[in-house]
Amino acid sequence: MAQMSTVETSGGTRGSALPAWLKSGLLTIVAVLIVMGVWQVAAIAFDVPVWLVPKPSDFMARFVSDFPLLLHHAFETSKTLLMGFALGVLIAVPLAFAITSFGALERGLFPVIVFLNIMPKTVIGPILIVWFGIGPLVAVLIVFLMSFFPVLVDSMSGFRAVDPRLYYITRSMGASPAQTFFRIRLPASMDHIFAGMKIGVVKAVEGVIIAEFIASSAGLGYLIMRASGFMDMTLMFSGLIMAALVALVFNSGMSIAEVVLMPWSRRSQ
């Protein structure tokens, strides 16, 4: 995958003066502007009321005028997302290591986790509300539940990816278990762990808004839900845009972290 995209990139650069990423970025912007333009013209032409479908000019103006409010809630959402996701990674990675190290855990605990994962996570929301009350904590826990599993599964395959014969070599070096873990197993699993984290972050972004719909007193999901109560369409649409921006920041943050933390990866070259 990574290699293919590199080939495409260099192929694209050969033909024109613009670098491929800039070209595709500009194309995206042009496409968005066309969609918005058609939308704007259609809304005016058919005289669609703002409370039904707002025009781009309406919600973009609202996005600008209420930017501080949106930013505040975006910040709350990001905080929830980050906490839930971090909790997921911090529990999933060591647990994956434990499961792959002890056969009993793999046979006993893993099926239970798989079963729990099949359950729709948001359904647990009302139960969590009873336990912890309405607030960001419940949203954090739902984000945790959503991002935990992909990280766990990919980390497990990461910890299994090391050729066991390598341990003959490290044993001959007299490596301690800690040295073997931190110098070999963990870095060797990073590729897989990152793949899991990338899926996990997508799940987390998806989950955080839904979690805030049902169980929070702050954040973009809460803001959109409240705006819905007032039929405040322009605020809902600007909230939607802000949510997309938060998702974009987190997804690109993961890609940047991958390049920084794994300079050996082919993708980083």
Partner 1 sequence: MDPQKNQGTGASIVARDITKIYGTGPDAFHALGPIDLDIKPGEFVSLIGPSGCGKSTTMLLVSGLEPISQGHVEIDGKPLTKPISEIGIVFQDHLLLDFRTAIQNVMLQQEIRKLDKADMRSRADALFEQLDLVGAEDKYPWQLSGGMRQRVSIARALVHDPSMLIMDEPFGALDAISRTQIRHDLEMLWLAKRKTVLFITHSIEEAVGLSDRVLVMSKSPGRIVEEISIDLPRPRPAHLGEYPEFAVYAKKIYTIFEKLGVYNF
Find the shortest distance in angstroms from Cβ 108 to partner 1: 24
Find the shortest distance in angstroms from Cβ 178 to partner 1: 11
Distance in angstroms (rounded) separating the CA atoms of residues 71 and 64: 11
Helix axes 67-101, 186-215, angle to 10 degrees: 130
Encoded one letter per residue, x for contact with partner 1 by CB under 8 A and - for no contact, window 250-269 reads: ------------x-x-x---
Nearer to partner 1, 14 or 165 (CB): 165
Tell me the number of residues near partner 1 by CB under 8 A: 21
Find the shortest distance in angstroms from Cβ 167 to partner 1: 9
Find the shortest distance in angstroms from Cβ 176 to partner 1: 8
Other beta carbons within 10 Å of 240:
15
Q: Does 187 bind partner 1 (CB under 8 A)?
A: yes
User: Which of the stretches 6-14, 67-75, 131-139, 180-188 binds partner 1 when contact is defined by CB under 8 A?
Assistant: 180-188
Which amino acid belongs to residue 214? I
Encoded one letter per residue, x for contact with partner 1 by CB under 8 A and - for no contact, window 191-230 reads: x---------------------------------------
Distance in angstroms (rounded) separating the CA atoms of residues 154 and 149: 9
Among 7, 64, 169, 259, binds partner 1 (CB under 8 A): 169
Nearer to partner 1, 5 or 28 (CB): 5
Nearer to partner 1, 191 or 212 (CB): 191
Distance in angstroms (rounded) separating the CA atoms of residues 36 and 223: 24
User: Which of the stretches 39-47, 76-84, 93-101, 172-180 binds partner 1 when contact is defined by CB under 8 A?
Assistant: 172-180
Nearer to partner 1, 47 or 163 (CB): 163
**Site for partner 1, rule CB under 8 A:** 163, 165-166, 168-175, 179, 183-184, 187-188, 190-191, 262, 264, 266
